[in-house]
Amino acid sequence: MKQVKTISFIGAGALGSGLARLLHAQGYTISEIVVRASAGAKRRGAKVARDVGAEVVTLKSAKLQCDVLWLVVPDEAVEDVARSVAKREALPRMVLHASGALSSRSLQMLAARGVQTGSAHPMMTFVAGEPPSLKGAWIAVEGSREAVQAARAMARKLGANSFTIEPASKTLYHAFGAMLSPMLAAELEAAERLGLRAGISRKDVRRIMQPILERTVSNVLRKGVPNSFSGPLARGDVRTVAAHLEALGASPEAGVYRALMEYATGTLPVKRSDEMKELLGEKKLRRRR
């Protein structure tokens, strides 16, 4: 396999910008940051291009003379962008996309023209304004043999791990990731709002959240969820759970609580689970009335 030295990106969002900066820091040459023609897209692209010594271009003006072209665009745009690239006379040797939900099959129009294709998705959150890092993270890879080898080599340079994912499993894998970060963040938003409603100041609420969150995550990763499960559901404290549901009323946070309670009573060591399920059913019936 020819060593990857030059990389271009299509897309300059949080993930694309983060990957470009991380790879540049490890000695890769970032050739082009390809963006849409809008002023906002060009402005965002120019910022990361300055940081990594690349040229900011549109797809129409891009040369794409690179070892790897990495598509870091929304999932719904991957095939359209790949189709546009495939129409060009000169093509890069290899094209990867960073979608967690799509497989390399979405690049089949490029593979048909002899391009090595694959997907490489980092299981990590990238947020604007936060320094990116992939140290210790895992990157799911699949595709042609050469594309997988190149993706694994880049992962190692970034201090990340890599594993092969079956193409048909990509959507479930991505749902797994969604529950580890964005949906977890949504649940914590609901918890934070309850803390504020309970009279805790905005200044203190996250400080109070931090120790219990960190201990819970540590316990889960060390001992597994069943051995880390505590609180009124684990104790079978039906009266307290009923009081929670009553206090939550018809708030949006009540829906989050009920959904998690329903899942827990079906999968985790909940004492008096039949009574908990009955309580949940009663509350649902009252809401419908």
In the chain, what are the domains? Answer: 6-168 (3.40.50.720), 180-288 (no CATH)
Which one-letter DSSP state was computed for residue 27? T
Judged against a pLDDT cut of 60, whether residue 176 lies above it is answered with: yes
pLDDT in tens, 51-110: 999 999 999 999 999 999 999 999 999 999 999 999 999 999 999 999 999 999 999 999
- What is the percent of the chain where pLDDT is above 70? 97
For the cut 90, the answer to whether the pLDDT of residue 283 exceeds it is: no
Is 212 strand, coil or helix? helix
Structure tokens at 241: 């759970």
Q: Which amino acid is at 111?
A: A
Supply the pLDDT for residue 131: 87
Residue 276 has a pLDDT of 93
Taking the CA atoms of 19, 22, 27 and 33 in sequence, report the sign of the dihedral they define: positive
pLDDT for 151: 98
**Percentage with pLDDT > 90 across the chain:** 93
Q: Is residue 5 predicted with pLDDT exceeding 60?
A: yes
* Distance set, CA 258 to CA 124, 238, 250 (Å): 28, 14, 11
Mean pLDDT of the chain: 95
Alpha-carbon distance of 194 to 210, in angstroms, equals: 15
Dihedral angle, C-alpha 109, 178, 14, 169, nearest 10 ° = -20
Taking alpha carbons only, the member of 202, 122, 197, 118 closest to residue 159 is 122
Cβ atoms of 2 and 11 closer than 8 Å: no
Tell me the torsion sign for CA atoms 76, 40, 186, 252: negative
Q: Are 116 and 147 contacting, i.e. CB atoms less than 8 angstroms apart?
A: yes
Distances (CA, A) of 120 to 64, 73, 96, 145, 170: 19, 13, 7, 13, 11
Please say if the pLDDT value at position 10 is more than 60: yes
Q: Check residues 11 and 127 and name the one with the higher pLDDT.
A: 11
pLDDT, tens digit (0-9, with 9 covering 90-100), for 24-35: 999 999 999 999
The pLDDT value recorded for residue 3 is: 86
Residue matched to tokens 């040229």 = 55
Neighbouring residues of 97: CB distance < 8 A, sequence distance ≥ 6? 70, 71, 72, 73, 78, 82, 104, 106, 107, 119, 120
CB atoms within 10 A of CB 257: 19
Asked if the model's pLDDT at residue 287 lies above 60, the reply is: no
pLDDT at 284: 60
Map residue 276 onto helix, strand or coil: helix
Dihedral sign for Cα atoms in the order 176, 182, 183, 184: positive
pLDDT of residue 286: 56
The whole-number average pLDDT for the span 15-22 is 96
pLDDT of residue 170: 97
Both structure tokens of 99: 């979608």
Contact call for residues 70 and 48 (beta carbons, < 8 A): no
Query: CA-CA distance, 268 to 246, in Å (whole number)?
Result: 23
What mean pLDDT do residues 243-258 have?
A: 95
Residue 289 has pLDDT above 70, yes or no: no
Q: What residues have CB less than 8 Å from 100, skipping those under 6 apart? A: 121, 123, 140, 170, 173, 174, 177
| pLDDT greater than 80 at residue 231 | yes
For residue range 207-225, list pLDDT tens digits in order: 999 999 999 999 999 999 9
| Average pLDDT of the segment spanning 22-51 | 95
First vs last C-alpha separation in the chain: 66
Find, among 258, 238, 239, the residue nearest to 248 by Cα: 258
